[in-house]
Chain A
Amino acid sequence: MLCLLWPPARAASASLPPIDVLMQALARVTARRAAFTETKSIAALSEPIRDNGTLIYRRPGYLAKITAPPHAEQLVVNGDQLTLAEGTEAPHVIALYSHPRLHALVDAVRGTLSGNLDLLRRWYNVTMTGSVAAWRLVLVPIDPGVASLIRFVAIEGGGTTLHWVRTVQANGDESTMTITPAQ
């Protein structure tokens, strides 16, 4: 009897878990540009490291993190290739797939930005709390190799906007990146 009262189209969207709704929304964003500030607390260092810069994203696999001086560097991930250029030194080019830990770290951000839940789940147990309007994702590594480096990654946002990304390492070091969409 209830079936008759419930319109089928609504039934489909309503039965979709919020995480899928969120991912679908994120997947629709084709490009982003945002300013960021990052604070890294490293146990070995007596004070935290603070940086700021620009984040650029293009669907589905391009991500650039351009850090302003004093720690100027350009980190560009495109597909399988990661390029890290610091100051005037020759850039390091790394095949991500050969470095699962790095790969997992990059895919935490990339997977979220591109709304690719399958990609996230390849590396992490993914839990979402809150609503699509104000959400929080917690990513806990599945692979022991990755877990030996990363304890978890937490990402908070509202709708298709990311507010911050927090990475907690297995050794207790952590970094928090706060993101402000560029105008």
Chain B
Amino acid sequence: MTALRRFRGLPILVAFAGAVLAVVLVLSRVSIRTDMTDFLPSGHTPEARVMLEQLRFGAGTSMIMLGIEGAPPATLARISRSMTTALDRSPLFLFVNNGDASLFGGSTERLLFRYRYLLSPAVTPQAFSVPALHADMVRLLRGLESSAAPLVSQFGLADPSGAFLALLKQWIGASQVRSVDGVWFAPHRDRALIILRTNAQGMDLENQQRAQMAIRTAFADNDPGSARLVAAGPAVFARQAADLMRADVTMLSLASTVLLSALLFWRFRSIWVLLLVAVPVLLGIAAAALAVQILFGFVHGVAIGFGVTMLGVSLDYPVLLVGHRKLAEPAAATLQRISEAFRLAVCSASLGLTGMLFAGIPGLAQLGCFSLVGLLVAAGVTRWILPHLIVAADLAPVSAGDPARFLRVEHLRVWRGWAAALGLAAIAGLALAGGPRWQTDLAALSPVPPDAMKLDASLRRELGAPDTVLMGLVQGQSVEDVLQREEKLLPTIDALTRRGVLVSAELAASYLPSAATQLARRAILPDPETLTARVAQARAGLPFRPDAFVPFIDAVTASRALPPLLPADIHASLFRARLDPLLFSRAGVYYGLIAPTALHDPAAFAAALHQNGVPFVDVTQEMNRIVADYTGTAWRWFAIGGAAAMVVIAAGLRSLRRVLAVAAAIVTALLVTVAILTAIGTRLSLIQVVSLQLVAGVGLDYALFFARRQLDQEERARTLRTLVTCNAMTMLSFGVLTLCRMPLLRQIGITVAIGAVLALVFAFLFAGVMPRDSTEEYG
């Protein structure tokens, strides 16, 4: 007998293998994109669009911030130093910086020194006058007489007017990082700080993987003892999110497979059911991904993730079919009993999803297409292929049990009045709470855990790295144009800094003046004869040897022949690291960022920029506006889809009472779910739209099956048991999600778990037909 059943199961095994193969084949062929730009609409203003793109693709994405903590400061400093030395040698990194010392003695210092008379703001006509030079020399002499003599003589004789020192001051700037043993430390805790940039772009995951491995190795190699390494930055997040997702998905698939297998085995006493249930969903996923690939040219990772969630409803289809089968019954008989409800459920659910196709937002359209195709294919497979497999393997639920017991359960429907009251209470509660709270923060959709976000914010603050959310954006025809426009802003920014509006601002022009400015400074420089004469006059009465300032005269003379320093000529890594994130071009337009540090009064800063014709972008606000729009559109189309589904149901059921019962069941379930979510402090976002669509979908199945014209008590019992099985499947597979570490998956889990139970309860109470009434109504 067993051997025979196993043989009978062979078609199922073949179908299952085929479905798995189809999914693997399709998913390995389609081009999957994970970039949110492909999923989200772009910003409202052109500036916002540029800024958002820059945040995603710009030089800033290759920045990694490291913190070393959990050991005595001396140990942390030692680790920081040796890690920096090791990483600095690696070709994977553009620069590695763990203290102010890295500015001194490197290629950037040499470049700055060489170009000091073109770059330094201290180059003015007065600076080369006899009185100014005399004052410089007196100061220089005092320096040489002091203990600082070695340092003073190193630069002072070649640069008595201090052009180089003025440059260095700009470079060291506002960073208020504490130093321990020459290593940057967070101001209020023992955490050594390192900032580095990879040569690879932030989204080049393969090279980022390598770079981050090198960082971990460098840390582990320096016998860290009790010390811990923490890391943040866009690339780190991307990898963490991928790792987390992998861990969660592994846990999920294991746990839900085990749980669902146990449930289905208990219910049907056959492992074939498990494989059978998977066939429509798998084929649905394969077809959906293929359709999206054909229509859109690529498949977005988010569409797959959310789409598969919404396809959870199609897990019910095969169960509804098998669950309603009597042992040894031909397929046609089972189908005949459930076909009306089944067809209606599929049609209305598909129609509900169709709305998203027309939402006009790229991601939503993909999501709608994915779910719609998946659902239809899964339903088609259930309707036309599965019956043969089921009959061949003779799958049916174990005995439906004593119908009388279910009769008692059905008497619970006397509580339906109270349940309706619960729905009204949910409305009242939501109204009192001022409606559900909407998610306006993109972070909620992000796969990055909140802890990682917090770490990023704290490292950024501790390093004095500029805010990346509030920025001015200067536009120009060329790099030169941008730099000139920025230079015009410098006095305004200085004034704002003095007023305490901000602590400082990072902008390219403060590191690299425009070529025009450099040429203007160059024009100031006196010719060798004039300068020699002035130096001789200025030296009068001071104990300097006649040739003491030859290095100075030589340097000024050499500078008169220097071409202006242009970004393209700069290869010194520290210089590049400062400049690249602040100066970039996109589609033939050149942009300069003005990134404030510790901006206390954004409104004043924005107003000052606007007066100078420079747009100010609040990235957070911009993102949130996008998300709000997105979510709003999704909800609207959810409602439109729902209304369309109701029309189909009304046409199909042709009974006002039954239509109202089905609608009431679903609407009440959704309302109470939203009320519960609001009560526990959840903000509604795209996650809830997707989850509630699933809830509506399963709720529709439940309500339509309960509302069927049921022939006898035995069939009613079968329906109840089957729907409880479907519900338990949804509960188990989505309940597992609540154990995930990714907030996104957890939220889906909570919403679906709450919603699915409520959907079953309300469908049972409202749509289910009271046994006593059934004879009257259908008799």
Q: Assess the A44–B146 pair: CB atoms within 8 A.
A: no
User: Considering the chains assembled together, what is the distance between the CA atoms of A95 and B548 in angstroms?
Assistant: 31
B142 nearest CB across to chain A (Å): 7
**Which of A149, A167, A175 meets B154, CB within 8 Å?**
A149
Q: Assess the B147–A65 pair: CB atoms within 8 A.
A: yes
Q: Which 7 interchain pairs have the tightest Cβ spacing? A: A97-B182, A145-B105, A44-B548, A98-B100, A71-B145, A95-B179, A75-B147
A8 on interface, CB distance cutoff 8 Å = no
Residues 528-560 of B at the A interface (beta carbon under 8 Å)? 543-545, 548-549
Q: Which residue of B lies closest to A92 (CB)?
A: B148
Residues of B contacting A99 in the complex (Cβ-Cβ under 8 angstroms): 101, 104
A interface secondary structure, majority: mixed
B residues neighboring A (CB under 8 Å): 99-101, 104-105, 141-142, 144-151, 153-154, 157, 179-183, 543-545, 548-549
Residues 30-60 of A at the B interface (beta carbon under 8 Å)? 40, 42-47, 49, 51
Q: Which residue of A lies closest to B550 (CB)?
A: A44
Residues of B contacting A67 in the complex (Cβ-Cβ under 8 angstroms): 147
A residues neighboring B (CB under 8 Å): 40, 42-47, 49, 51, 65, 67, 71, 73, 75, 80, 84, 86, 95-103, 105, 143-145, 148-150, 167, 169, 171, 173, 175
Q: Provided the pairs A44-B544, A98-B182, A149-B151 are in contact, do residues A84 and B146 lie with their beta carbons within 8 angstroms?
A: yes
Q: Assess the A80–B181 pair: CB atoms within 8 A.
A: yes
Residues of B contacting A149 in the complex (Cβ-Cβ under 8 angstroms): 150-151, 154
Residues of A contacting B154 in the complex (Cβ-Cβ under 8 angstroms): 101, 148-149, 169, 171
Q: Provided the pairs A102-B151, A175-B149 are in contact, do residues A97 and B99 lie with their beta carbons within 8 angstroms?
A: yes
A118 nearest CB across to chain B (Å): 12
User: Considering the chains assembled together, what is the distance between the CA atoms of A15 and B303 in angstroms?
Assistant: 75
Given contacts A47-B543, A100-B104, A167-B150, 13 further A-B contacts (CB under 8 A): A40-B144, A44-B545, A45-B144, A45-B548, A49-B145, A51-B145, A71-B145, A84-B148, A95-B100, A97-B179, A97-B181, A99-B104, A175-B150
Q: Which residue of A lies closest to B181 (CB)?
A: A97
**Which of B144, B150, B179, B544 meets A98, CB within 8 Å?**
B179
Q: Assess the B150–A150 pair: CB atoms within 8 A.
A: yes
Residues of A contacting B142 in the complex (Cβ-Cβ under 8 angstroms): 86
Q: Assess the B182–A86 pair: CB atoms within 8 A.
A: no
Q: Assess the A42–B179 pair: CB atoms within 8 A.
A: no
User: Considering the chains assembled together, what is the distance between the CA atoms of A47 and B141 in angstroms?
Assistant: 12
29 A-B contacts, Cβ less than 8 Å apart? A40-B144, A42-B144, A44-B144, A44-B549, A45-B141, A45-B543, A45-B548, A46-B543, A46-B544, A49-B145, A67-B147, A71-B146, A80-B180, A86-B146, A95-B182, A97-B179, A101-B105, A101-B151, A103-B182, A144-B105, A145-B104, A145-B105, A148-B105, A149-B150, A149-B151, A167-B150, A169-B150, A169-B153, A171-B154
Q: Assess the B543–A97 pair: CB atoms within 8 A.
A: no
Q: Assess the B104–A101 pair: CB atoms within 8 A.
A: yes
User: Considering the chains assembled together, what is the distance between the CA atoms of A46 and B154 in angstroms?
Assistant: 17
Q: Assess the B153–A80 pair: CB atoms within 8 A.
A: no
A111 nearest CB across to chain B (Å): 15
A153 nearest CB across to chain B (Å): 11
User: Considering the chains assembled together, what is the distance between the CA atoms of A51 and B181 in angstroms?
Assistant: 31
User: Considering the chains assembled together, what is the distance between the CA atoms of A51 and B146 in angstroms?
Assistant: 10
Q: Assess the B545–A173 pair: CB atoms within 8 A.
A: no
User: Considering the chains assembled together, what is the distance between the CA atoms of A148 and B104 in angstroms?
Assistant: 11
Q: Which residue of B lies closest to A174 (CB)?
A: B150
Residues of B contacting A167 in the complex (Cβ-Cβ under 8 angstroms): 150
Residues of B contacting A150 in the complex (Cβ-Cβ under 8 angstroms): 150
Q: Assess the A171–B105 pair: CB atoms within 8 A.
A: no
User: Considering the chains assembled together, what is the distance between the CA atoms of A173 and B105 in angstroms?
Assistant: 20
B176 nearest CB across to chain A (Å): 12
B357 nearest CB across to chain A (Å): 60
Q: Which residue of B lies closest to A86 (CB)?
A: B146
B477 nearest CB across to chain A (Å): 40
Residues of A contacting B153 in the complex (Cβ-Cβ under 8 angstroms): 42, 44, 169, 171, 173
A71 nearest CB across to chain B (Å): 4
Q: Which residue of A lies closest to B100 (CB)?
A: A98
Q: Assess the A98–B99 pair: CB atoms within 8 A.
A: yes
Residues of A contacting B183 in the complex (Cβ-Cβ under 8 angstroms): 97
Q: Assess the B157–A44 pair: CB atoms within 8 A.
A: yes
**Which of B101, B151, B544 meets A45, CB within 8 Å?**
B544
Q: Assess the B147–A73 pair: CB atoms within 8 A.
A: yes
Residues of B contacting A171 in the complex (Cβ-Cβ under 8 angstroms): 153-154
A64 nearest CB across to chain B (Å): 11
Residues of B contacting A97 in the complex (Cβ-Cβ under 8 angstroms): 99, 101, 179-183
B345 nearest CB across to chain A (Å): 71
